[in-house]
Amino acid sequence: MQNSEAMALSTALLAVAGELTQRINEGVLARGFEGIRPAHGFAFVRLAPDGATVTELAAHLGVTKQAASQLVDEIVRKGYAERRAHPGDARARLIVLTERGWACTRAAEEAAAEVVRGWGQVLGEGEVRALWRQLGSIAPYGRIRPTW
Amino acid sequence: MQNSEAMALSTALLAVAGELTQRINEGVLARGFEGIRPAHGFAFVRLAPDGATVTELAAHLGVTKQAASQLVDEIVRKGYAERRAHPGDARARLIVLTERGWACTRAAEEAAAEVVRGWGQVLGEGEVRALWRQLGSIAPYGRIRPTW
DNA sequence: CTCTATGGTCAAGCTGCTTGACCATTACGT
DNA sequence: ACGTAATGGTCAAGCAGCTTGACCATAGAG
């Protein structure tokens, strides 16, 4: 594959990713969750299963732990998460989603599903699943870099 | 497709996009083009064919024209582009890439090709082309939003 | 039971974006 | 033509989110 073709593929991927991010964020805001930015969504993804420490969150987001701490301040202040004592390490705090945080996460899933349904109308269900499988097998582990 | 599946697909897409952006940027820097950020790359894409005005660039990047103007200041100062008189509109200026700007664009294409080759080793050439076709048909027109 | 490493926060600074104001040129309405 | 509004662009100030640097509390290693 030629370099220019690789760049065309890259551009298409980044365009789709940019639009997806924007539409999910708009969908979340439209469902009444104010003051939420895409970076918060990436944080929620990491917090959702069982919570995480500030340091773990920082690694997931690819920022300093100070920045992650500030982000946690913000979502705590807005009622989406809370800091709890960490079981087994008195230094650490476990950040967990509140019920409102979970509701926000569900809203993001709904918004994502809306966008993906639109893809399904263009590509068909089978191709969307193929896309999922392909992206899943080339996606890096663990970390998401919301910076570009 | 369930909401949680749509979110998993979205997460994979965004993870791939984030890694791609990072790797392209690293590749460009490694080829000796300093002081370049991903946002510059998105600008170069718009400037490459025939140049563009600041306002057009702002629309492409999804930022204010003041921000686009500052970005142009920066890439002009670093020697990647220059402002020329606009033929046919004395208010406007046409921003065009310099030879160094073109060299940087080619470096970005090489870096993108490296990443895509890696995908080819996992998926195979045919699937990568399928990915390209699928993404191309769901990509939005014109604008890229480098904000999330 | 020191000594070092780790989790977390506070404080200050920087960068890239925004809003607001303004000038030059163009397009429109009469 | 001519005056008014719209458009392209820049200057200036402010702000939000990130960084670096310093620091404290607890954990783990010897």
Answer yes or no: are the C-beta atoms of B84 and B51 closer than 8 Å: yes
Mean pLDDT of A120-137: 96
CATH of residue A108: 1.10.10.10
Is A144 a domain residue?
Answer: no
A37 touches strand D (CB under 7 A): yes
- Find the Å distance, CA of residue A18 to C1' of nucleotide C26: 35
Q: Confirm whether any atom of chain C, the nucleic acid strand, is less than 7 Å from CB of A63.
A: no
| Average pLDDT estimate for A1-10 | 93
Q: Within a domain: residue A101?
A: yes
Mean pLDDT in residue range A40-66: 95
- Give, in Å, how far the C1' of C2 lies from the CA of A67: 33
Q: What mean pLDDT do residues B122-127 have?
A: 95
In a domain, A127, yes or no: yes
Q: Return the pLDDT at B140.
A: 82
What is the interface size between A and B, counted as CB pairs within 8 Å? 194
CB atoms within 10 A of CB A126: 9
A148 occurs within a structural domain = no
Identify which of B11, B16, B122 has the shortest CB distance to residue A13.
Answer: B16
Contacts of B110 in chain A (CB under 8 A): 3
Q: What is the rounded average pLDDT of the residues A15-25?
A: 93
- Owning domain of residue A40: 3-138
Q: Domains in chain B: how many in total?
A: 1
Position B145 pLDDT exceeds 90: no
In this prediction, residue A140 carries a pLDDT of: 81
Q: What is the DSSP secondary structure assignment for residue B80, as one 8-state letter?
A: S
Q: d(Cα A85, Cα A108) in Å, to the nearest integer?
A: 28
Written as six digits, the tokens of B58 are 């702002």
- B100 vs B77: CA distance, rounded Å: 12
Is strand C within 7 Å of residue A69 (CB)?
Answer: yes
Whether A15 maps to a domain, the answer reads: yes
Looking at beta carbons, which residues of chain B come within 8 Å of A6? 109, 112-113, 115-117
- Tell me whether residue A145 is in a domain: no
Between CA A90 and C1' D15 the distance (Å) reads 36
Name the nt closest to A56 by C-alpha to C1': C7
Instruction: Give the pLDDT of residue A54.
Output: 98
Question: Is the residue at A129 inside a domain?
Answer: yes
Distance from CA of B15 to the nearest CA of A (A): 5
Q: Is B93 in a helix, a strand, or coil?
A: strand
Pick out residues 92-111 of chain B having their CB under 7 A from any atom of nucleic acid strand C: none
pLDDT at residue B135 tops 80: yes
Ranking A79-83, B16-20, B53-57 by mean pLDDT, the lowest is: B16-20
Instruction: Please name which of A14, A110, A41 lies closest in space to residue B5, comparing C-alpha atoms.
Output: A110
Within 8 A by CB and 6+ apart from B89, the residues are none
> CA torsion angle for A41, A42, A46, A49 (degrees, to 10)?
30
Could you say which nucleotides of strand D lie within 7 A of any protein CB atom?
A: 7-13, 17-22, 25-28
**Alpha carbon distance A104, A41 (integer Å):** 9
Mean pLDDT of chain A: 93
Chain A hits for B9, CB-CB cut-off 8 Å, are 112, 116, 128, 131-132, 135-136
> Would you say residue B146 lies in a domain?
no
Q: What is the DSSP string of chain A?
A: --HHHHHHHHHHHHHHHHHHHHHHHHHHHHTT-TT--HHHHHHHHHHTTT-B-HHHHHHHHTS-HHHHHHHHHHHHHTTSEEEEE-TT-SS-EEEEE-HHHHHHHHHHHHHHHHHHHHHHHHH-HHHHHHHHHHHHHHPPSS------
How many other β-carbons are positioned within 10 Å of the β-carbon of residue A81?
Answer: 25
